[in-house]
Amino acid sequence: MTATFGEYGGRYVPETLIPALDELTEAWDVAREDASFWDELDELGRTYAGRPTPLTRADRFAPATRLYLKREDLLHTGAHKLNNTLGQAVLAQRLGKRRIVAETGAGQHGVATASVCARFGLECVVYMGAEDMRRQQPNVERMGLLGAEVRAVEFGTRTLKEATSEAIRDWIENVETTHYLIGSCVGPAPYPELVRELQAVIGREAREQVLEAEGRLPDAVLACVGGGSNAIGMFAGFLDDVGVELFGVEAAGAASLSSGRAAVLHGARSSVLADEDGQVADAHSISAGLDYPGVGPEHAFLRDSGRVRYVTATDEEALAAFRRLAETEGIVPALEPAHALARVDDVQSELVVVCLSGRGDKDLAEALRALGS
């Protein structure tokens, strides 16, 4: 078992998946050194996805701070997920795989996956918990329109954890023809590193844009952490800048880093919400995208090294920030990045950048119901 990030990462998978992971690692090692791979992604980013996304000053939200928002909510399909799905779809084509399986929680990764499969003419199967299908009906309908088959997962909590297990089971059965398009920087190696590199465009652009706007680097950078992909992509741009403080914000009821322990989940060793026997606990968050008991292994490493600080926000704090951004800036954020916005006042830095990972259309009904009660 090769551990990729200190004691975290590795490949805790059935023997039958090792050849597929080796094949993916090989294709990725070639692609990352190949200028034509990055040229193709740049072109797709510009002409299909809407990159670069803007950096927006948010004075009314935080009058005491110079706050900037990195606007991944303006990316095609409404969240940062597309950076990853485009990259993996190009890799799948290089592998000659014409069938894609994916898991989805809120449906954002499912929609991003279904979109790229339509764009490249690939068969697409998305596993989704039955409870999440009920909560996120519009995204289920979008995936259907995009030509994907959505398969309901009816066991356990009927949410993201079980959907991920089912997607992995499908992959094991169909590994010859199928690429597993994982939605965050989780899973067995090489996925955590692959997804980080595909999302690193967020941090690269944000660093350039804040230098352009302010002539200096920010004091602090914040991002919400579910599986951790928007955060790791954002942080990647600033990890070497020792003067920039980095903050990951978890949902208080799904705080794998703040209150988890070292354990294996979905193919990698990381920090997991689990009891002393390693039995995985259920996560609870108003935001379906953060409602996952695990987190990418690199975040566990960055926590232990002290380079990134991980804090939490409650459902109520996230809802208050959701409303405050709408009222002060005319931007309705997804509930996930509303967790990061909820911690801006505590950072007490002069110049702050927050990754606004997605837009809030999908959350409107849920948020309005919660705010009304």
Ligand X SMILES: *Cc1c(COP(=O)(O)O)cnc(C)c1O
**Does residue 221 touch ligand X according to CB under 6 A?**
no
Q: Give the strand pairing for 268-272 and 261-265.
A: antiparallel
Determine the 3-state secondary structure of 133 from DSSP: helix
What positions carry a catalytic annotation?
A: 81, 103, 357
Q: How far apart are the first and last CA of the chain?
A: 49
CA distances from 6 to 137, 167, 185, 297, 311 (A): 40, 27, 16, 9, 22
Query: Residue 368 contacts by C-beta under 8 Å, 6 or more apart in sequence?
Result: none
Among 336, 338, 349, 353, the residue binding ligand X under the rule CB under 6 A is: 336
CA angle at 270 for the pair 267 and 271, rounded to the nearest 5°: 135
The answer to whether residue 237 forms part of the interface with ligand X (CB under 6 A) is no
Contact (Cβ atoms closer than 8 angstroms) between residue 136 and residue 107? yes
Q: Is 159 in the site for ligand X (CB under 6 A)?
A: no
User: Candidates 13-21, 147-155, 201-209, 220-228 — which segment interacts with ligand X by CB under 6 A?
Assistant: 220-228
The residues with which 138 forms a beta bridge, in sequence order, are: none
Q: Which is nearer to ligand X, 118 or 332 (CB)?
A: 332
Question: Does residue 227 bind ligand X (CB under 6 A)?
Answer: yes
| The only residue of 65, 113, 139, 230 in contact with ligand X, by rule CB under 6 A | 230
Q: Is 294 in the site for ligand X (CB under 6 A)?
A: no
Q: Which is nearer to ligand X, 101 or 254 (CB)?
A: 254
Closer to ligand X by Cβ: residue 227 or 267: 227
Integer Cα distance of 44 and 58 in angstroms: 29
User: Phi and psi of 122, rounded to 5°?
Assistant: -105, 145
Considering only residues 289, 293, 294, 297, which one is a binding residue for ligand X as defined by CB under 6 A? Answer: 289
Name the one range near ligand X by CB under 6 A: 46-54, 172-180, 224-232, 238-246: 224-232
Q: Is 248 in the site for ligand X (CB under 6 A)?
A: no
Catalog residues that contact ligand X under the rule CB under 6 A.
79, 81, 106, 108-109, 184, 224-231, 289-290, 334, 336-337, 357-358
